[in-house]
Structure 1
Amino acid sequence: MGHRAIRIYLARLIAGIAAASLFLTPQVAMAWGFFGHQTIARIALANIKPSTRKAIDRLYRADPLLGTPKCPIHDLAQASVWPDCIRNDPTRWGYTFSWHYQTEPVDQPYNARKNCPGEACVSAQITRNYALLADKRLPANVRLEALAFLVHFTGDIHMPLHSGDDDDKGGNTRHVDYGIVKGANLHYDWDNPLAERAITSGPSLVRRYSKAEKARLAGGTPADWGRESWEITKDFVYRNAFGREPGAGTMPDKGKLTQQAITEAVPVARKRIEQAGLRLAHLLDEAMAPDGTKSIG
């Protein structure tokens, strides 16, 4: 084997080991992973008005003013993952980390107000960043930052485990094998391999949706979307992985998403990603309109 062939072989081997390590090491995951968030952004982009797209495109010029060169925002897909990218700078951005979720115990009634102290939770931050984006008086860099948070958090709130919780940090402390792959956790499984399976199963999610489809899949407020995620977690996610209902300390620390469980979960994840994209498109159309409302719902 020549030197060039050896280098190619080693590069592929290292890449394979790195990819495998994502499954073999328990993860503290971020909702939907980059692929999921970018898919949601692309669904929205395919369904916004041309005038909305032009208005958003103008905001990208303010990217240098964000002071995040390692996390650029030159398009909506980059905006969708920017709030996760800046987690690499906790000194500057640590105060935003709790904005990605809200802890709603599945064994108690849903209460978005009680479980969102100081509005430091995902539903409140969708509302806040929508208002900032809609305010045309604000500097472009402030609105661009708000755009990124709005796009990302609309994705986050539709991930069931970013709302429902069984005293396990949204499934992060529950070890759940994904098929034959061992060593991940429930949250990571939903964020990454399950989301990727959902997105790539069936017809493309990134397309122009009909008015009837939008009427069926979109609508509601951030509080409604959080409740939906909580209900899915309570009624489906834990039972799908552990074969029992959550709450009252009955859940084991380890479970498995069998192939049957994955098959059952795919349409659930797929619908949440569709809903997130179409609801985001509506928010962007409203916020970027010349006379757009500055509050949601």
Structure 2
Amino acid sequence: MRFTPFLFLLPGVVSWGLLGHQTVALIAQFYLLPKTVTERNEPGGGFTFGYHFVNGQDRPPPDSCKIEYPKDCPPEGCIVSAIANYTERLMDKKLERESRAEALRFLIHFVGDITQPRNFSLPPTVLSPMSQQLRKKVHTEAFGAGANSILVYFAGKPTNLHAAWDTSIPNKIINTTSPTTLESLGWANAIASLINVGPYKRRLGSWVHDLDTEGNGPENSAAKWAVDSNELVCEYAIDVAPEEINGTEIAGEYYDGAVPIVIEQIAKGGVRLAGWLNLIFEGKTGF
């Protein structure tokens, strides 16, 4: 398998941290079809911040977690409409290669982002303009100042629930504090084995059955992914009143329960990303 640097033109500061994003991209590379690989190796610049999120405007978790699309998507756009928009741009062969390469970079990042089970959003009143740009890219639940306001401890060190799901939990899974590309590749290989011959093999059908790049398909598919991730907020990430989590140590029992969720969501993100790009370039998911 030949790995190109293209998939590493990704920021490691929002939603999944560096380790999560790299691993999603690496897993996807295992399953790309030949034409997809050829089309993917386009030149392009760096990644620019987007204005995309989708906020479930319902009761705070754990009482309610739901996405109602398009109602929860603001006029300026959200991650669901962004995936649809950049899918359309990537499929438009009349666009210049640079524009299509940019669309591909956005898709790689957003398809990974939308699997993040801690997708909470930040209220605009507490954000700087640049922070608002970061906020608008990834989130799927309008609650709790993006969980940045929920103070927790991870292995005795103060952090917040937002940062814990982004970085602390994935990093601890592979016992690293500053993940390298080689460590991401090792984790991607381990997760790929769960997909190929392990327990995830029988789940592949449910992960890719709603992939549709035609007509309103991209919006419908992305909305389903957002709902899928959003449900995990109430099912686990905040399954009790926030004040019960605030100030607690989460590197023990809470972490143990989060591990299988994080691994499966990263696996899911890699499979969906590969299937999505294969569908765009080859007309089939490859699964």
TM normalised by structure 1 equals: 0.67
Cα deviation digits, residues 143-175 of structure 1 (max 9, x gap): 011000001000111002224536323312211
2:57–2:72 CA contact under 8 A, matched in 1: no
In the alignment, what sits opposite 1:209?
196
In the alignment, what sits opposite 2:147?
171
CA RMSD in angstroms comes to 2.8
Q: Number of residues paired by the alignment?
A: 225
- Distance apart, 1:112 and its partner CA: 2.6
- Matching of residues 227-246 of structure 1 within 5 Å: 227-239=227-239, 244-245=240-241
- Matching of residues 120-159 of structure 1 within 5 Å: 120-159=77-116
Moved over 4 A (4+): 198-203, 210-213, 250-253
**Which of 255, 260, 283 is 1:262 aligned to?**
255
SS at match of 1:131: helix
1:133–1:146 CA contact under 8 A, matched in 2: yes
2:191 maps to a residue whose letter is: L
Q: Does 1:41 align with 2:25?
A: yes
Cα distance change, pair 226–138 in 1 and its aligned pair in 2 (3 A): same
Instruction: Work out which of the two has the higher radius of gyration on C-alpha atoms and give 1 or 2.
Output: 1
Cα distance change, pair 164–144 in 1 and its aligned pair in 2 (3 A): closer
1:103–1:170 CA contact under 8 A, matched in 2: no
- Matching of residues 38-77 of structure 1 within 5 Å: 38-57=22-41, 59-60=42-43, 63=44, 66=45, 71=46
SS at match of 1:118: coil
Cα deviation digits, residues 200-230 of structure 1 (max 9, x gap): 7897124673674522443331111111111
Distance across 2 between alignment mates of 1:171 and 1:245: 12
Cα deviation digits, residues 245-285 of structure 1 (max 9, x gap): 46xxx666433314111111100011100001000101101
Identity %: 26
Q: Does 1:218 align with 2:208?
A: yes
Structure 1: gaps of 5 or more residues:
1-28, 72-81, 87-92
Structure 2: gaps of 5 or more residues:
1-12, 120-138, 176-186, 211-220
SS at match of 1:227: helix
2:173–2:259 CA contact under 8 A, matched in 1: yes
From the two aligned structures, give the one with the greater helix fraction.
Answer: 1
1:167 maps to a residue whose letter is: F
